[in-house]
A = this chain, B = another copy of it.
Amino acid sequence: MSLRKPTKALPNMAEADIAIVRIAPESSFKNKAYDALKDAILKMDIYSTPEPVMLDERALSERLGVSRTPIREAIAMLEQDGFVKTVPRRGIMVVRRTKSEIVDMIRAWAALESMAARLITTTARKKDITALRDFFKDFGKDRLPEDHVEEYSRANIAFHQALISLSESPVLVDLTNDLLLHVRGYRQLTIGRKDRTATSLPEHLGIIEALEARDTELAEKRARDHTLGLAAYVEAHGQELFT
């Protein structure tokens, strides 16, 4: 597949070996539009207003300086992702998730993460596991997480993503990232979590310890219970968010 005629194209091809970096494929407008729209949707605060946020193909095509065609293809992709929903002759609306949908997603996340923990205990290098502690090195008795919620929240997300990555399972990584993108829209998941941060840090460390000890069952259980705890928290305290 790579080369059609490998017969005698080698001798004077030494130049081909020097740092030729495969020129930028120059992504298509479709993909650029997809990235731009996805980014914009994730940034906007969909839940601040009661009316659904609507998108307009023509307006978007003008703003992005391309025709409607690539915009529409990008919209079709976003719809597959579940970020928007287009209704014929009505408009394209940014999807608003209900509380139970968010809780549901967090549960799925818990499932995937606990499987990641399980895999990690059998394959990851000790060094990489220990490195997970670094995400929280700025927090401790003298600098409590609950006093730096924003910062801790970022470390929290980074930790979870790093954890999943250690599983070296592309499927787990991708699925989890998708779920996180949806869940993340809820600012209150971060802010309101203030009273959860206190218990969060010890739980994280507990997960790391179990991983280091190669205790498969325990690591799996701790990872699961930790995230299920978040789900339960949202289910109990996330009321005000969802009108």
Q: What residues make up the interface of A, taking CB atoms closer than 8 Å to B?
A: 25, 28, 30, 69, 72-74, 76-77, 79-81, 88, 101, 104-105, 107-108, 110-112, 114-115, 119, 169-172, 175, 179, 224
A69 vs B70: C-alpha distance when bound (angstroms)? 10
A76 touches B30 (CB 8 A): yes
A and B contact pairs by CB, cutoff 8 A, 6 listed: A69-B69, A74-B76, A77-B79, A77-B80, A107-B115, A175-B175
Instruction: Name the prevailing secondary structure of the A interface residues.
Output: helix
* Copies of the protein in its oligomer: 2
For A76, the chain B residues whose CB sits under 8 A away are 30, 73-74, 76-77
B115 touches A171 (CB 8 A): no
For A112, the chain B residues whose CB sits under 8 A away are 108, 111-112
A224 vs B224: C-alpha distance when bound (angstroms)? 13
For A101, the chain B residues whose CB sits under 8 A away are 170-171
For residue A173, give the distance in angstroms from its CB to the closest CB of chain B: 10
B115 touches A108 (CB 8 A): yes
For residue A64, give the distance in angstroms from its CB to the closest CB of chain B: 16
For A25, the chain B residues whose CB sits under 8 A away are 88
A28 vs B89: C-alpha distance when bound (angstroms)? 12
User: Which residue among A25, A79, A81, A179 has the maximum number of chain B CB atoms within 10 Å of its CB?
Assistant: A79
For residue A120, give the distance in angstroms from its CB to the closest CB of chain B: 12
Who on chain B is nearest to A25 by CB? B88
A134 vs B183: C-alpha distance when bound (angstroms)? 37
For A224, the chain B residues whose CB sits under 8 A away are 115
Who on chain B is nearest to A73 by CB? B76
B80 touches A171 (CB 8 A): no
For residue A121, give the distance in angstroms from its CB to the closest CB of chain B: 14
A74 vs B105: C-alpha distance when bound (angstroms)? 26
Who on chain B is nearest to A106 by CB? B171
User: Which residue among A25, A81, A171 has the maximum number of chain B CB atoms within 10 Å of its CB?
Assistant: A171
B115 touches A111 (CB 8 A): yes
B172 touches A108 (CB 8 A): yes
